[in-house]
Every structure is written in structure tokens, then in C-alpha cells.
Structure 1
Amino acid sequence: MTPPSSPQPPTPTRLLGSLALFLAVSAAPSAHADVTLAPLFRDGAVFQQNAPVVVWGQADPDEAVEVSFGQQSLKTQTDAQGDWSVSLAPMEASFEPQTLTVKGKNTLAVKDILVGEVWLCSGQSNMEWRVRLSNNASQEMASANFPAIRQFKPPRTAASDPQKDVVGEWVVCSPDTVGEFTAVGYFFARTLREQLGVPVGIINSTWGGTQIESWISAEAISQVSSIGQIEERWQERLKDYPAAMSEYNESYAQWKSERDQAIQSGKKYTKRAPREPEGPGSRWEPSSIFNGMVAPLVPYTVAGVLWYQGESNQGHESEYAELFTTMIGQWRETFQNEQMPFYFVQLANCIRKSDPTGEAWAYLREAQAAALDLPNTGMAVAIDIGTSNDIHPRNKQEVGRRLALLALRDQYGYDLSAQGPRLRGAKTEGARVVLSFDHAEGLNSGDEPLTGFFIAGENRQFYPAQAVIENDTVVVSSGMVPEPVAVRYAWANDPVPAPTLQNAARLPAEPFRTDNW
């Protein structure tokens, strides 16, 4: 891994213009006896290096506020709603713990703040997945002596309207704490910490089992072509909500009565409380998680976003590409950075019980890859490191490393290979098809046969193909298909045989198809 001669920091997220949207959710003025800071400003925080850092909070309307950090001291005054903000000038990375001081009618001191790289990690359960549940968890936790890596994790929160505040604290990485960190985010951060030599903060805003439409703002999602279907599915969920809520209230009252009686009689009561139905403002409502878990983070300055999601959108593959690109664009607009780096994980191989021999995830992977047409995006392919019978593969180390490779190459100027082979073109030559690739340096299949290719003629019947590497191309053919018209690679939920094409960096080839059937 070759570092750049003069590393360039990523274009940071600059969020000043978003205050009006997210800090003025309530139009009515309210009194605040003390000056307060947004909850992200807690002991142990990490500030983004080489970028303006917005600091904000509330106090009494028209109150004078002074903010000090390092050698900087800034003064401002709250508006009629009591909101205030200042922007610290860009700072170099620093391991020296510093104190943020805010003075109004009272004084606040936030201690142990470092300056380095800050990344927002988001998505569903595979991003939420913790270090203690990953491969080699005991060894990983025992060796996690990285006090300059910190995590902030807000609780799962869904809301019908954008929220102003988020609850949480910055946790310093140690063998005792790292087990609860996002595994993908931690292994990404560890690689950056080692290569860049700066502190790294990760904001772990994740929620397992969630659909992408819940992570997009109401304004943005209202513009997508599938909004009718999305709204119809949401209304279908709400149809039975009143009856379910009535039943829940009765069940809960009975459960509470039984529990109270048991407690009064000195008995142990182990029956679980009934689960409240999910209705308005729940995780299934479009935009609800954006409102509760992304909007309150604005305008904290971050370097970029890591995203791992898609499993819960199975069944709506045709909608995903537009939803995903819409979300990326909307988040960039929200964070006031049109070039905000956005790196994501393509779904790993996995057998779906509802679709054991199907291709639903192949189409989802294709929809995810469509986002690569947007600038400053990158995709970590995981088709080779999944677990056939588990939607949560444990090898998060490699996922985090592959995401870090993208950031190191594209945002920090490192000269390295960060992507596996990606189909560039297909040329039919008689009974064979010649496939060319980008990122094809040193094409190989490791110690395994070259497998994963299927070929079809005009009848659209696919057969396993013989595949041979010729220089920087792959030539495929089959005696069953004398006149080929289409090739597919790794095109299944869990491809069998396992796809083996990779480049010299041992990064796997991206699944593809040459047809549009």
C-alpha cells in the first residue's frame, strides 16, 4: 500500500445551510434556562480535520454565546427561537485531548475532543452488526487498544417529522467497549487509523430490518416514480393498525395486572410484555428513520458515508436503483456537500429461504451497482465472503477493509488497487464470447477453477460455461450453446458453483449479466 507524497483530505461535509431546516422544526420560541449543546457534542468527541466544524445548540432567545476551542474563540447570539451556531475554522488532525467551552448565562465544558476523520456508518443489520459477533471476536476485542477510535451510536428512532436532537455518547475504543461497535465501521476505522495516522470517529446510525424508503426524506421520496407503490404498501400496513392497537391495549393491561399481582405476592414474573404494533411514526413509515436518525445529526461535519443495506428491499428490486440514487443525492443535499463520498457494500452471497434457488438478490446487486454512475461513490463487492445459510456473514473484517481501500484510494490519494474486475464489454466471436474488464490487472481464480459463468443462446436457456483467462480477458463458451447471445456471472442469491474470478489484489469480480431479460 503506497501512501501519496502529499495526502489530500476528502472534501468534508459542510452543513451550515441545513440549520434552517432541522433546527427550526418548531416555530414557537421556547425559553432555555441554560445554554445547551447539541447531543453530539459530548466528552470524547472527534471533530473532522481540515474542514469548518459547525457547533450548535440552544439558549434563551437573543442570548450572547461564546464558543472556545483550541486557539479559537467565537461569539454569536441566539435567534428568536433560541438557536445558535458557530463555525470553527479548519484544524489539523490532533491526538491531543482538547476542551470545547461554551459560555452563555452558564458555562459548558466538553472534554477529551480529538481532531481527525469522522465517518457516518448507516444501513440495516449488517452495518449494525457488532464486533463481538464477528469472526475471531475474542482476539479482535482483546487487541482493540485504539483510544483514538471513538463511536457515537444514537438509539433506534423513527418519527413522522424531522427531529432536532439525538441521544447518545461518544465511546472510546478499548477491549472492554469495542464489542458493541459496528463491526464494519470499526474495521474500516482501524484501517484508516493505521494508514492515515489520525484519530477516527464513527457515527453508527443503523437499524436492522429496515427498508431504504425509511431512510429518505419525505420531500425526496415524494419525487420517485414508485411513490404510488410505496405509499400503497404503507397504507396496507396501517389498515389493521387500529384493531391491532386495541388488542395490544387489552393484552398489555392484562400483562401488567398479572405482573403487579406477582410482584405484590413476592413471586418472580418472567412473561414478556406484549409487543406494541408498529403504526404511524414506526420504522415502516417512509422517511421515518431519516427523520429520527439522520436529520438530528445535521450539521455535524463528517468526511463521508458508509452504507450497508438492501436485504429488506427484496421483492421490490425494480424500485431500488432509483431509491438508492435518490437517497445519495438527498443526503448530499442535506449535508450541504454535493461531492460527499458515499461508499456502500453490495449484498453478499446468501441462500434466501423464501427464494432458495432464485435471483432476487442478483437483481438487487445490479440495482446497487447502478449508484456507481454517481460521482464519488464506490462499492465493496462481497459475493465471495457471504455465508450461504446466514444473512449475517461474520467476516466483517474484509468488508471494512474493502471499504477502507476505496476511501484510501479515492479520498486520501493512496496508490493502490481498491476494486475487483468490472465488466467493460462483451464481444461474440463465433461460438465463444470474449469478456473485457476494468480493474483487470492480473486476472486469476486463485487456487480454484475459474467458475461462476453461465451462457445462453436466443432461447434464453443458460448453461454452465467453460471459462479461460486470456491476458486481460475471459473467454467463455459451451458445447450446449453454439450461437451465444448472453453471459451471466455470479447471477444468483448464492451462486453455485462459487464465482472465483479476481484480480491480482485478490479483489473479487462484480456480478454481471450482458442481457436485459
Structure 2
Amino acid sequence: MLKSSILLSAALLAGTLANLQAELRPASLFQSHMVLQRGTQLPVWGDADPGATVTVEFSGQKKSARADAKGKWMLKLDPLPATKQAKTMTFSSKLKTEAEKLELRDVVVGEVWICAGQSNMQFGVKNSPGVKALLPKVKNIRSFTVKRTVAFTEQDRCEGKWVDQYPDSAVALAFAHSLQQHEDVPVGIILTCWGSSSLEAWMPRDMTETVPHFKTMMEEFDANKEAHEQIKAALNAPKGWTKKEDIFLRRQTNILYNAMMHPLAPYACRGLVWYQGERNTQSMFGMLKTPWFSRNSGMLIYGDVLKKWIARYRQEWDNEEMHFLIAMLPGYGKVLPTGPNRDPQSPTAHSWAWMREAQLKALQLDGVSVANTVDLGDMKNVHPKDKLPVGQRLALLAARDVYGKKLEAQGPVMNKVIGSGGRIHVVFDHAEGLKTNDGKSPSAFWIADSNRKWHQAEAKIVGQSVVLQSDQVAEPKFVRYAFAGMPKVNLVNGEGLPAYPFRSDDFQPKLRK
């Protein structure tokens, strides 16, 4: 009887010890069918038994690392060339006499991009006729879609699965397809997006040290016990959360980053495509008291915060060359009540024009490109269907700025403004073949004198310049072009790419008391 008890106890103890051993688990993105980034060191990491030696073998390389006291390990594979030929990656772990092994099959090497943002990045392929028409032509595109969820703390893992098919995001697919046409290598898209999310939803907590309003937001969030209970209840709901709870979750600050972005780093990628900003257009000045989900940067400081956010992500990926492609917000007719008028064509209204200007501030950083979409959009629908040119223009910029292709990748950009004899000349770069796409005179130009009274200008193309005048402005000094919520634009270069919006004045709106 005693002997039997001892044997049973020994068996139970052995089982308990076995259960305490960590399973060899690569990080979430390391799966069969994945795409690895070509031409750069490849961090590979995960969990194993503390002290175990983990070995990774792939494409003739064999690298090892020892798991630390918490069972964490990381190693780096040497840069690999692109290949469409599927290969197997092997992981093995050894601790004393115990050994584990696993294989990831159908692994290719090419270009990896993260596509992130809010609802217009989430916008499905079948909802965009132009992108849907691409489907018969799509090839060599794979995707990993991050499950939409939240977490109070930074997570090491996320839910998702690499699949040998395109992502269900119209912009991401249009971008990936166009990129594949330029580069002819496998393209892997990591899709992490959620509608209604603000920039602050995707910010790590430590950015409270550099962004004052974000610090206020986090302090308020931490003190909001009722919100915490609502979030916990939604996450723990046996049948999943409701639509109302879904909206509540995605409008929070920071906790999307914790669950949907932090687990991805430092997976090697070429860069990040960012289509977000609509949520931060709910005010000019930021931090509205009501509704609660309008407490964010607002449009006037979004640009400076975006630059800090990009720098922080590069730090997270330990990659100063990580490229950021920004999708400018397209035309939309909504105008805020804080401005002098509610006209979506007006250059003085508090419209999305200010957000576009904020997004263009990111160009002050190296390794950033902004795709102009001011000629696209819908007057009444915040989710326009014309996603194909958005993805194509993002890919054009990548082809030039990342892959070194010699091509024209953007529309005309204002170089300088010269006033002379009652006229004002706007000189453009990227303006070879400057023309209008409808054969009419250039539209959406407004000029003003030193009193800043804006009037629509008569416009004429002269070479790579546009000459402006108005009977109502004797001595024009300032120009605004396409600086409106839904401007009617027609100015393009010889490649048919639209001119970027701009303003030459330095006027800064002030909050009305």
C-alpha cells in the first residue's frame, strides 16, 4: 500500500514537473506559410525551457541561442535573398536530455509590410469595385491578419494565421499587388487595423513622457474603473462582445497597441503603411470634453505627434530605416462648427484640409512618404470606395523611395510662390507635363492679400508653373491650393498624378472663446 502511494506520488510529481516545462514556441508571426523579409538580419524569438538551447535552421543557416531565466530567447539569421521557392524552417530545443523539434513549412522570402490604421484600412476588398477587379491577377501575396482585441498591458503574443492568400483590406491588397508588379517577389502583408481607432490607441504607454495630452489621456483612463470593468466584461463574455462593446473597445487609448502592435515587434519588415486620421479630425484643438472618444490630439498637433510616433516605432523595431507610407485623407464634406464657415469648398473652414497638412508634416522625417489622395473621396461617405488608386500611389512611392526605381511617383509639389505685378506665380516640382485632367483652367486655387481675405483665383498654366490673379485682390501675397474638405481639383502632371494641397501663409487658427 505504502509502495503504491509512493509510486503514485512520484508519478504525479513527474507529471507536474513536465507541465512546468515551457513548450518550444516561436513568436506568433513564425508560422508555416509566412513571408520573411529579404536583405536584412532576421530576428527570430520565442519561448522555451529556461536555460534550453534553441536552434533555428533555414536556407543553409544554423543559429542557436540560450533561453534566459524566463524562458525567452532570440537569435538573428543573416540576410536572405528573395525566393518564391518554398522552404522549411526548423526549430529545436534541448535541455539536458530533453529535446523538442518543430517545423514550419512553405516559407518564402520577399517583402514584408505592416498595414495598419482604422476603418479605411479595414475596408474590405469586395466593397471596392476597382480592387475587387484585381482578384484574377493577384499572385505571390500572403497575409497575416491580427485578431482585433485589446489588452491592459503589452502582450508578447497575438492571434492570427499566415495564409497563402491576399489580405481582406482593399488598400492593403491594392498596395501589395502594385508592389508585386514592381518587384516580382513574394509580398507578405501583416494587417493590424480597427475602425474608429485614434492615433493614441496605437501608442505605447511610455509615450506619455513625450506627448503631454497622451499623458492626460492615460491618467484619465487609469482612473476610470468603470471603463476597466466594461472592458473586462467584454473580453470575458462567453459568446463574445456585442457591437456596442466592440465600438467601445476600439475607441480606447493605448490598449490596441498593447494587443495588436507590440506582439509584432521586432519581426523584420520593410516598413509600415498607415491609413489613419479620421478619428483625430473630430476637433481642431484636441481633447474635447464630450463626447469622451473625442479626447485626442485634434488636427493641429496631430502632425507633431505623428512624427514622435514614427520615431518610437522605429525604436521598437530597432530599425531607423523602417519606412513609413502615409495615406493622406481623401476628400470629405464634413466641416467642424469651430470655423468661420461650413462650406466644404472653402479654404478657411475647419475641414480635413488641416489634417492633410498635419500628415504632410511627417515628411520632415527621413524615410517617410505621403500618398496624395485629395482628388479622391466622397462628399458624404467617410468610407469611399475608390481604394485602388490609394494603394497604387502608395506602391509607387515605395518603388521610388524604398526600392530605388527611377520613375515619377508623385504629383506636383509647390516649390515657391512669387508675387509680381498683381499676379502670383506658383512654381512646382514634379511638374513635367503639367496640365489639367479635364482640359479646363486649374481649379481650387485661392489667393489673398496681407489682410487674408480669400478669393478664388483665375489660373493659367505656364510651363511648370501656375499663374494666379483676381480682380478682387490687387496685390496677392498668399496662396491656398486644394485646402478644403472636398476641393474640386484637376491639376496633374504628365503621369496623371494630382498636385499636392498646400498653403503658403502661416496662419494658425485660435480656439474661439
TM over 0.5: yes
Which of 189, 194, 210 is the matching residue for 1:207?
194
Quick one: which of 86, 103, 114 aligns to 1:120?
114
Distance in 2 between the 1:95 and 1:512 partners?
Answer: 43
Give the aligned residue type for 1:511.
P
Shift in Å at residue 76 of structure 1? Answer: 2.2
Pairing partner for 1:486 from 458, 478, 483: 478
| Deviation larger for 230-239 or 97-106 | 230-239
Is 2:303–2:361's contact at 8 Å kept on the other side of the alignment? yes
SS at match of 1:106: strand
Q: Aligned to 1:365, what secondary structure does the other structure show?
A: helix
Deviation at 1:387, TM superposition (A): 1.5
Report the 3-state secondary structure (helix = DSSP H, G, I; strand = E; otherwise coil) of the residue aligned with 2:435.
coil
**For 2:245 and 2:489, how far apart are their aligned partners in 1?**
44
How do 1:403-442 residues align onto structure 2 when only pairs under 5 Å count? Answer: 403-442=394-433
CA positional deviation for 1:335: 0.8
Q: How do 1:301-450 residues align onto structure 2 when only pairs under 5 Å count?
A: 301-314=268-281, 315=283, 316-352=298-334, 357=343, 358-449=349-440, 450=442
Tell me which residue corresponds to 1:23.
Answer: none
Task: Specify the alignment match of 1:291 in structure 2.
Answer: 258
Matched, 1:477 2:469: yes
> How far 1:345 sits from its partner (Å)?
0.9
**Structure 1 residue 360: deviation in Å?**
2.6
In structure 2, distance between residues paired with 1:349 and 1:277? 27
**Does the CA contact (< 8 Å) of 1:451 and 1:467 recur in 2?**
yes
Deviation at 1:354, TM superposition (A): 5.3
Give unmatched runs, 5+ long, in structure 1: 1-29, 260-271
How far apart are 1:128 and its partner, in Å?
A: 1.7
- For the residues of structure 1 that align with 2:478 and 2:145, how far apart are their CA atoms? 46
CA distance in 2, matches of 1:243, 1:413: 48
Aligned pair count reads: 458
Task: Report Cα offsets for 1:167-214 as digits up to 9, x if no partner.
Answer: 1001212xxxx4x52221111111221221110101111111111122
- Residue 509 and residue 299 in structure 1: after superposition, are their counterparts in 2 closer, same or farther (change >3 A)? same
TM-score, structure 2 length as denominator? 0.83
Q: Does 1:500 align with 2:490?
A: yes
SS in 2 for 1:433: strand
Question: 1:99-110, aligned counterparts within 5 Å?
Answer: 99-104=88-93, 105-110=99-104
The one-letter amino acid paired with 2:318 is Q
Q: Which of 1 and 2 has higher RCO (CA within 8 Å, sep 6+)?
A: 1
The answer to whether the 8 A contact 1:155-1:167 is kept is: yes
Which AA in structure 2 matches 1:507?
A: L
Contact 1:241 1:277 (C-alpha < 8 Å) held by counterparts: no
Q: Distance in 1 between matches of 2:464 and 2:92?
A: 63
1:254-300: CA deviation from partner (whole Å, max 9, x where unpaired): x99xx9xxxxxxxxxxxx95844988xx5444432222222100121
Instruction: Measure, in 1, the Cα distance between the counterparts of 2:413 and 2:443.
Output: 16
What code does the residue aligned with 1:295 have? H
Write the distance in 2 (CA, Å) between the matches of 1:371 and 1:198.
29
Q: Deviations over 1:496-515 (max 9, x none)?
A: xx111111111111111111
Report how far residue 37 of structure 1 moved.
1.2
Instruction: Provide the C-alpha distance between the structure 2 equivalents of 1:302 and 1:95, rounded to a whole number of angstroms.
Output: 17
The one-character-per-residue Cα deviations of 1:451-490 (angstroms, maximum 9, x if unpaired) are: 0101122332211110011111111111011122221111
Residue 98 (structure 1) aligns with:
87
- CA shift in 2, pair 1:285/1:88, >3 Å: same
**TM superposition shift of 1:234:** 5.9
Matching residue of 1:79 = 68
What is the deviation of 1:220?
2.5
- Does residue 54 (structure 1) correspond to residue 43 (structure 2)? The answer is yes
In the alignment, which residue of structure 1 is the partner of 2:150?
A: 158
Counting aligned pairs with the same residue, the percent is 36
Q: Residue 208 and residue 448 in structure 1: after superposition, are their counterparts in 2 closer, same or farther (change >3 A)?
A: farther
| In 1, Cα distance between equivalents of 2:224 and 2:69 | 43
CA distance in 2, matches of 1:461, 1:411: 42
Partner of 1:38: 27
Task: Please tell me whether the aligned partners of residues 213 and 221 of structure 1 are also in contact (alpha carbons under 8 angstroms).
Answer: no
Could you tell me how far apart the structure 2 residues matched to 1:171 and 1:340 are? 24
CA distance in 2, matches of 1:464, 1:284: 39
Query: Is the partner of 2:133 in helix, strand or coil?
Result: helix
1:346-369 residue CA offsets vs partner (Å, 9 max, x unmatched): 110011275652333111111110
Q: Which amino acid aligns with 2:109?
A: V
Q: SS of 1:205's equivalent?
A: strand
- The TM-score normalised by the length of structure 1 is 0.83
